[in-house]
Amino acid sequence: MVQFLVEGRELVAEASRDLAMLIARPDDVAALDGCFRAIHTLKGSTGLFDLQPMGAMLHAAEELLAAIRAGRPGHAEDFARVLEAVDQVDRWLDALEGDGALPADADAAGRAIQARMRDAAPALDQAEAQLPAVPDWQLSAAFTGLSGTAIRYTPRVDCYFAGDDPVAIVAATPQLIALSIAPRDAWGELEHYDPFACNLVIEAVSAAPRGEIEAAFRLVADQVELAELTAAEPGAPAGGMTTRRTLRVDAARIDHLGILADELVTAKNGLVDLAIAAEALPGGHTLGQALRSRQAQLDRLVGDLHAAVGKVRLAPLAPLFARFPRLARETAGALGKSVRLELEGQEIEVDKTIVDGLFDPLLHVLRNALDHGVEPVERRRAAGKPEAGLVRVTARAAGDQVVIEVADDGAGIDPARIRNLAVARGVLGRDAADALDDRDAVDLIFVPGLSTATTVNAVSGRGVGMDVVRAAAARLGGKVTLSGEPGRGTIVRFVLPMTMILTKLMVVTCGGERYGLALDSVVETARIAADRLVVMRSRQAFQFRDQVVPLVILRELVGGSSQGALAPRGGAERVVIAWVGGELVGFAVDAIVGRMDAALRPLDGLLSGAPGLAGSTLMPDGSVLLVLDLAELLS
Amino acid sequence: MTVTRDGATIRLQGRCRVEDAEPLASLLHATPGLTVDLGDCEGLHAAVVQALLAFAPKVVGTPSDPVLRDLILPLLAGERQRGQRPI
C-alpha cells in the first residue's frame, strides 16, 4: 500500500501535468498518450486493493481518453473533467494515507464525476462503436505485458450449425501471439453435455494491423470485440519517455548512511590532532608527516563519500510541486477567485529532508497568496489587472542553495498597514514601528502573532502565522524573506541549502565554551594590543589596515559570562575579523582552537528557537559544538 | 474415421471436424480416465476443442501443425479445472 501511495502520487502528478497541457492545447498527442498511460497504470494498481470506486472512475476517464485517442475530437472541457477525476484520486490518496481507507462518500463522489465525464462525451458511444479502444473486459492474465490488438470472440451458441469453426477463424488471424479458450458458461453436468452447442469464449492477441484483423473476423464481426493493448503494462511506459533506472530505498537507510558519513568526517578530523602530536614527539617528525599525508588522502575520500551520500538523498521537487495545482484550484474555488498557477524548476533536486519539510510552509504561503494576495475579481478589474490572478512557484539553484519563490500579482503588502498592526498587537511601540524602513516593516510579518488573520476563514488564517513558516525554513537550515510592492504583488522567497553540505569551521573558545564560526566569513585573525583600541560612542573599535573596525566581545553576545569588559591579558586581545552583512567586524575571543570540516545539523528541540545559532556539529571527542550565526547575533 | 479408440487411448487423426465432437464426447463420458493422443492430428474443430476442454482428458502427443502445437495444445495440456466432471 505504501508503494501504491508513492506511485499513485507520481501517476497523479504525471496525469495532471499532461492534462494541464491538453487543456491549453487539446491536440497535443504526446500529452494525451502520457496522460492515458498514467491513468491506465493507476487504474491497474487500484485492482490490487479494494478501491472499487477509484477503479470505476478511472475506467470511465480512460474510456473518454481512449475515444479521443481513437480519433474523436477532444475539447478542453473533456480534459477538465478528466482532471477533476484525477484531483479526486489525489484527494482519495490523502484519505488513504491518513485513514487507510477511502472516505464513506467515495462511491457517490466517483459516480458523480463519472456522470460528468459521460456528459462531457456525448459522442463517446458512437465513437466507441466505430473504433473501440481499451478492452472493457478483464484480459486474461497470460496477456499481461503484450502489445498489439486484443481480440475477444464470443461465438453464438448455434454457430456450429451455421458451419462456423471459431477455432479455425481465430487460427487464421495473422500474427497471432497469444490465445486463450475458456467456457462461456460453466460446463455443468457433463451427463447432459451438448457437443453441438458452442460454449466458448476465445481471446487472442495479434500483432497484425487492425485492418487485417478486422478482415479475418469479417464474417463474425458481430461476435467480436477488439481493443488496443498498451504495451508493457504495468511499469515502464512504452516508448517516448526516457525511463530512469531507479531503485526505491527506505529513506531511513539513506539517513543512516548519511549519519555514518557525517561521523566519518568527525572521526577523520581527529587525525589532525594525532599528526600534530606525533610531530611533537622526539624523532616523530617523519611519522607526523606521513600521518598528515594519509590524513589529506582520507580527507579527500571522505569528502567525496559525503558528497556522494548527499547526492543519493537528492530528490526532485516535482512531486512536491505536483501537489499544488489541485490544492490551488480547490482553494481558489473556495474563495471564488480565478487563479492561474505556474510552476517552474520542478526538476531541481534538493535533499529529501528539505523536499519533505517544505510542503507545509509552501502550502501555507501559497494559500496566503491566494487568499490575501490575489484580490477578488472586481478589485482586479478596477485595478486594470487580468481577472485571473497569477501565482508562480519557482525554484532555481543558486550555488549550493536552492531559491524557491512564491510570487503573486495581487495587492501586495502595505508596510504602513503592517506597522499599524504591529502597534495594535503590541509587538512594537509607535515610535519603533515608524523608525523601521519599509523592508524591515514588511519583515515584521514573520513575528509571532502578527500575521494571524483578523478574520478566520477556511482557507488561511487558522491561527497559523508566518512565524511558523519562518521557523520551518530555519529548521531546514534556510531562511525566508518577503518582498513586493503594494498593488503589484508579493514574493515570498525561501533560500535553503540544497544538500547537507560540509562547512569549514573555525573553532574558538570564549567564556569557557567552544563555538564554531563559519570559516568562509573569517578574513583574518589578529592580536590587537589594548592601546590600539579606540572608543567610539559607547562602542569599541580598532584600526585594521585602512579602516576602523568595530570590536564586539563575543563572550557578551553568547551570554557565557557576566563579565562585560575586556579582560586585559598581556594587553592584547585575540580577535577574529569577519565579514558580517557586508561589513568587517572584529570578534574578541578567548582563544582560537583550530579549524575543522563539519556537517552542520539544524538545531532541534529546545535550541531550535535560540537566536544566533546556525546549527550544531559533533566534535571528534563526541562533544557538541554550537555553530554561531554571526549576522543574527549582531542584529 | 478420425476418432479411434485404442485401449485406454483415443487417437485424433487428420483434421477433426465438427461431427467428430459427438463420438469423442461419448467416449470420454462413457470411460473416464482415457488419454487422448494428438500426435497425428492436423486440426481441431472448435467443437472438438470444446469437448476436450469440458471432459479434460489427459492429452499426449505433439501435433506438427504450428497453431495446434503452439497455441491450442498448451490450453489442453495445462492445468485445468476438472471440478464438475462426473465420475
Q: Which of B25, B43, B53 sits opposite A183 (nearest CB)?
A: B53
Cα dihedral A365, A371, A372, A378 sign: positive
List the one residue out of A364, A326, A328, A320 whose CA is nearest residue A346: A320
Is A168 in Cβ contact with B46 (below 8 Å)?
Answer: yes
Is the pLDDT at A404 greater than 90? The verdict is yes
pLDDT of residue A608: 63
Is the pLDDT at A407 greater than 90? The verdict is yes
The answer to whether position A173 is within a domain reads yes
B41 vs B62: CA distance, rounded Å: 8
Torsion of CA A208, A211, A217, A218, to 10 degrees: -170
The answer to whether position A325 is within a domain reads yes
Is the pLDDT at B83 greater than 80? The verdict is no
Contacts of B18 in chain A (CB under 8 A): 160, 165, 196
- Which H or E run includes A536? strand A533-536
pLDDT of residue A234: 40
Of B50, B80, B81, which to mutate for an interface test with A (greatest number of A Cβ within 10 Å)?
B50
pLDDT of residue B50: 92
pLDDT of residue A360: 86
- Looking at every residue in chain B, the average pLDDT score rounds to 81
Is the pLDDT at B86 greater than 50? The verdict is no
Domain boundary among A497, A521, A549: A497
Q: Which of B29, B46, B84 sits opposite A198 (nearest CB)?
A: B46
List the one residue out of A1, A31, A17 whose CA is nearest residue A87: A17
Same domain, A47 and A185: no
pLDDT of residue A391: 93
Same domain, A270 and A153: no
Name the most confidently modeled range: A231-245, A493-507, A515-529, A597-611.
A515-529
The ipTM value here is: 0.87
Chain A's closest residue to B65, CA to CA, is: A171
Give the confidence band of A376 by pLDDT, cuts at 50, 70, 90.
confident
Contacts of A198 in chain B (CB under 8 A): 46-47, 50
Q: Domain total for chain B?
A: 1
Say whether B49 sits in a helix, a strand or coil: helix
pLDDT of residue A408: 92
C-alpha cell at A480: 525566508
What is the CATH classification number for the domain harbouring A627? 2.40.50.180
Contacts of B46 in chain A (CB under 8 A): 155, 160, 164-168, 198, 200
CB contacts < 8 Å between A and B, how many? Answer: 76
More confident residue, A247 or A532: A532
Average pLDDT of the segment spanning A222-231: 77
The answer to whether position B12 is within a domain reads yes
Same domain, A267 and A398: no
Give the residue numbers spanning the domain of B73: 3-77
Is the pLDDT at A242 greater than 60? The verdict is no
Chain B's closest residue to A200, CA to CA, is: B50
Rounded alpha-carbon distances, angstroms, from residue A569 to A84, A156, A526, A572, A574:
74, 108, 14, 6, 10
A10 vs A372: CA distance, rounded Å: 30
Q: Which of B29, B45, B75 sits opposite A165 (nearest CB)?
A: B45
pLDDT of residue A124: 42
List the one residue out of A500, A499, A526, A514 whose CA is nearest residue A587: A526
Is B47 in Cβ contact with A160 (below 8 Å)?
Answer: yes
Is the pLDDT at A494 greater than 60? The verdict is yes
Is B46 in Cβ contact with A155 (below 8 Å)?
Answer: yes
Of A190, A196, A202, which to mutate for an interface test with B (greatest number of B Cβ within 10 Å)?
A190
Q: Judging by DSSP bridges, how do beta strands A479-485 and A489-497 pair with one another?
A: antiparallel
Q: What is the DSSP letter of A238?
A: P
- What percent of chain A is predicted at pLDDT more than 90? 6
Same domain, A333 and A450: yes
Average pLDDT of the segment spanning A90-105: 85
Is A187 in Cβ contact with B54 (below 8 Å)?
Answer: yes
Same domain, A536 and A625: yes
What is the CATH classification number for the domain harbouring A70? 1.20.120.160
The answer to whether position B48 is within a domain reads yes
The answer to whether position A109 is within a domain reads yes
Contacts of B50 in chain A (CB under 8 A): 183, 195, 198-200
pLDDT in tens, B12-71: 988 888 888 989 998 888 888 888 998 888 889 999 999 998 888 888 888 888 888 888
Contacts of A177 in chain B (CB under 8 A): none
Domain boundary among A497, A522, A551: A497
The answer to whether position A243 is within a domain reads no
Measure in Å the smallest separation between the Cα of A201 and chain B Cα atoms.
10
- A160 contacts chain B (CB < 8 A): yes
Contacts of B22 in chain A (CB under 8 A): 195-196
More confident residue, A560 or A537: A537
Measure in Å the smallest separation between the Cα of B53 and chain A Cα atoms.
8
More confident residue, A124 or A26: A26
C-alpha cell at B6: 485404442
pLDDT of residue A491: 92
Give the confidence band of A564 by pLDDT, cuts at 50, 70, 90.
very low
Is A176 in Cβ contact with B43 (below 8 Å)?
Answer: no
Q: Which of A160, A178, A181 sits opposite B18 (nearest CB)?
A: A160
pLDDT in tens, A246-267: 677 777 787 788 778 877 887 8
pLDDT in tens, A461-479: 444 578 888 878 877 778 8
The answer to whether position A241 is within a domain reads no
- A47 contacts chain B (CB < 8 A): no
Q: Which of B18, B51, B72 sits opposite A179 (nearest CB)?
A: B72
The answer to whether position B85 is within a domain reads no
Beta strands in A387-520 (DSSP E): 389-398, 401-408, 479-485, 489-497, 502-510, 513-518
The answer to whether position A245 is within a domain reads no
Same domain, A215 and A302: no
Average pLDDT of the segment spanning A484-500: 85
Give the residue numbers spanning the domain of A108: 2-129
- A207 contacts chain B (CB < 8 A): no
- A308 contacts chain B (CB < 8 A): no
Contact present, A350 and A310 (Cβ < 8 Å):
no
Domain boundary among A497, A531, A554: A497
Measure in Å the smallest separation between the Cα of A195 and chain B Cα atoms.
6
The answer to whether position B32 is within a domain reads yes
What is the CATH classification number for the domain harbouring B35? 3.30.750.24
- A158 contacts chain B (CB < 8 A): no
Q: Which of B45, B51, B84 sits opposite A188 (nearest CB)?
A: B84
Is the pLDDT at A621 greater than 90? The verdict is no
The answer to whether position B82 is within a domain reads no
Q: What is the DSSP letter of A191?
A: G
Average pLDDT of the segment spanning A514-524: 85
Q: Domain total for chain A?
A: 5
Q: At what angle do helices B21-30 and B46-55 cross, to 10 degrees?
A: 10
Is the pLDDT at A396 greater than 70? The verdict is yes
pLDDT of residue A235: 39
Same domain, A491 and A509: no
Is B51 in Cβ contact with A189 (below 8 Å)?
Answer: no
Rounded alpha-carbon distances, angstroms, from residue A623 to A106, A260, A295, A513:
54, 17, 22, 11
pLDDT of residue A269: 78
Is B43 in Cβ contact with A200 (below 8 Å)?
Answer: no
Average pLDDT of the segment spanning A232-252: 52
The answer to whether position A473 is within a domain reads yes
Q: Which of A167, A176, A189 sits opposite B45 (nearest CB)?
A: A167
Phi and psi, residue A59, nearest 5°? -60, -45
- A115 contacts chain B (CB < 8 A): no
Give the confidence band of A500 by pLDDT, cuts at 50, 70, 90.
low
Same domain, A362 and A493: yes
- What percent of chain A is predicted at pLDDT more than 70? 87
The answer to whether position A238 is within a domain reads no
Contacts of B53 in chain A (CB under 8 A): 181-183, 200
- Which H or E run includes A595? strand A591-599
Of B69, B71, B73, which to mutate for an interface test with A (greatest number of A Cβ within 10 Å)?
B71
Same domain, A369 and A492: yes
Is the pLDDT at B78 greater than 70? The verdict is no
pLDDT in tens, A166-209: 988 888 888 888 888 888 888 878 888 888 899 999 988 888 88
- Single-letter amino acid code for the residue at A73: P
The answer to whether position B26 is within a domain reads yes
The answer to whether position B52 is within a domain reads yes
Chain A's closest residue to B45, CA to CA, is: A165
Is B75 in Cβ contact with A181 (below 8 Å)?
Answer: yes
Measure in Å the smallest separation between the Cα of B7 and chain A Cα atoms.
23
Rounded alpha-carbon distances, angstroms, from residue A274 to A60, A271, A285, A581:
71, 5, 12, 37
Is A187 in Cβ contact with B46 (below 8 Å)?
Answer: no
- Looking at every residue in chain A, the average pLDDT score rounds to 80
Measure in Å the smallest separation between the Cα of B59 and chain A Cα atoms.
16
Is the pLDDT at A431 greater than 50? The verdict is yes
Same domain, A557 and A450: no
Three-state SS for A308-355 is HHHHHCEEECHHHHHCHHHHHHHHHHHHCCCEEEEEECCCCEEEHHHH
The answer to whether position B87 is within a domain reads no
Is A196 in Cβ contact with B46 (below 8 Å)?
Answer: no
- A190 contacts chain B (CB < 8 A): yes
Contacts of A199 in chain B (CB under 8 A): 50, 54
A398 vs A362: CA distance, rounded Å: 19
Contact present, A400 and A497 (Cβ < 8 Å):
yes
B→A interface, C-beta within 8 Å = 18, 21-22, 24-25, 29, 43-47, 49-51, 53-55, 67, 71-72, 75, 84-86
